Structure 1
Amino acid sequence: MKTNVVAVINQKGGTGKTTTTINLGSALSKLGKKVLLIDLDPQSNLSYSLAVSNTDATLADVFQGDKGLNDILVEKNGLWVAPGSNDLVDIEISLVSQPEREKFLKSILAKVKGFDFVLIDCPPSLSVLTLNALTAAQEVLIPLQMEVLTLQGLDQITKTVQKVKKALNPKLKIKGIVVVMFDVRRKLSQEVLEYLQDNVQEKIFRSQIRMNVKLAEAPSFGKSVLDYDASSNGARDYAALAEEYLEA
């Protein structure tokens, strides 16, 4: 079985990165794929959102060599989760002085078998941990809000991906951009989208993730939006994205 490792990145916080990792993963799972979610963000929002934040061991223990990745995995509503923790801050600091510091996660994931997809929720920065994700991944997925400042951030992300591709991971490619928190009532949202479509070479997925209160509510119940309210726009949008992702 070929495992598709996907780094979900955006260097800004609050851009729908964790929401996309969880709900795309859930939607892929419901299409029959076995999915592992890696919470690489020291803020551990993914773990909290799926109610797996109070665990005996986390990804930090794996980086330190105290645990294997399989030892820390938690199953949640058909998904497998490698919990994060604030201890990843210390891990990141210690990695800076390590030889081949960008390849730790790649080595960790090489020992994991049986998954169709591994989705990595990256920190909201282009940090050593994010470089680990980009070195381990085959594909990059970029959730993007339709705001003016996101255009500048997108350029930074694409340049970083190209540098990693050249120096560390020649197989790395940008799978595409996911339009998130899309507000059909705002003229600016449509204007930024049109600008992207006209000026950006990367694929922009047709399946847009609309503003939806159910997406905001679902983490309070420790569920993906597809498990929380399958009839909501949020669930339908991520289900459509998963199908498109498999076709792309």
Structure 2
Amino acid sequence: MPATIVSVINQKGGTGKTTTTINLGSALQKLGKRVLLIDLDPQANLSYSLGITEPSSTLADVFAGKVKLMDCLQESNGLFIAPGSNDLVDVEISLVNHEERERFLQHLLDEVTGFDYILIDCPPSLSLLTVNALASSDEVLIPLQMEVLTLQGLGQILNTVKQIKKTLNSKLKVKGIVVVMYDKRRKLSAEIEDYLKENVDEYIFQQRIRLNVKLAEAPSFGQSVLDYDASSYGAKDYLGLAKEFVSLA
């Protein structure tokens, strides 16, 4: 069976997008799945967080035709990563004049075999790279922080997904919304969660990702939270999310 390709998106920075890509991917791997992470963000935070600081080739080289995608992959604790780099900014500029500019990544991923899941960490903007990710994907996963301003962005994301589904990728669907950085002590968290349940049709994962210092510490050691501290709330929450994620297939 071909891999299920999932874009993890949120056009606002600092919302747990990269953290979710890494730790959901790691949790899926712990469940016996073969997982590839695509670092499509020019900031390359995902690569850095997994200890990949000086790869011999990156996703930018793949876009430039210098290397095949399968040949640029790095391995970290059972996960496979296509590293990102700042050069992806130049890639995006060069794509503008490309005839198949929205489907370039799709053609690259067509060459990839041997994985159950491919998770794409998208840039924190609705850019041409993000459009490429959505055009390539089967599903979209949206990490959502319990803040008022993030609700404004959610509507924009959902509208973009609808537009891509209509024009570029009819199979695209929203897998669900993941509540991240959850603090049950804050009244606002409960209020926003109630709002989502009443006003959003998309699936909201029952597993919330609680605020946890281990999630913030793990990247300093180049590890997912499940490898850094398997007993932490962060590890337990992402493992629970992975189980729920797989059950919805």
TM-score (ref. length: structure 1) = 0.99
Q: Is the 8 A contact 1:44 1:53 kept in 2?
A: no
2:7 counterpart residue number:
7
1:31 counterpart residue number:
31
Q: Deviation at 1:2?
A: 2.5
Are 1:174 and 2:174 counterparts? yes
SS of equivalent to 1:43: coil
2:106 counterpart residue number:
106
1:186 counterpart residue number:
186
The CA deviation string for residues 223-245 of structure 1, in whole angstroms up to 9 with x for no partner, is 00000000000000000000000
Instruction: Name the count of aligned residue pairs.
Output: 248
Q: Deviation at 1:53?
A: 2.1
The CA deviation string for residues 130-185 of structure 1, in whole angstroms up to 9 with x for no partner, is 00000000000000001111111000000000000000000000000000000111
Q: For structure 2, which runs of at least 5 residues remain unmatched after alignment?
A: none
Q: Counterpart of 2:18 in structure 1: which amino acid?
A: T
2:230 counterpart residue number:
230
Alignment of 1:40-79 (within 5 A): 40-79=40-79
SS of equivalent to 2:123: coil
2-structure distance, mates of 1:174, 1:100: 24
SS of equivalent to 2:177: strand
Q: Deviation at 1:98?
A: 1.1
1:137 counterpart residue number:
137
SS of equivalent to 1:154: helix
The CA deviation string for residues 75-130 of structure 1, in whole angstroms up to 9 with x for no partner, is 10010000000000000011111112010100000000010000000000000000
- Structure 1 segments (4+ residues) deviating >4 Å: none
The CA deviation string for residues 180-223 of structure 1, in whole angstroms up to 9 with x for no partner, is 00011110011001100111000000000000000000000000
1-structure distance, mates of 2:94, 2:101: 9
Cα root mean square deviation, aligned: 0.5
2-structure distance, mates of 1:184, 1:135: 36
2-structure distance, mates of 1:183, 1:87: 37
Q: Counterpart of 1:68 in structure 2: which amino acid?
A: K
Q: For structure 1, which runs of at least 5 residues remain unmatched after alignment?
A: none
1-structure distance, mates of 2:163, 2:138: 14
1:88 counterpart residue number:
88
TM-score (ref. length: structure 2) = 0.99
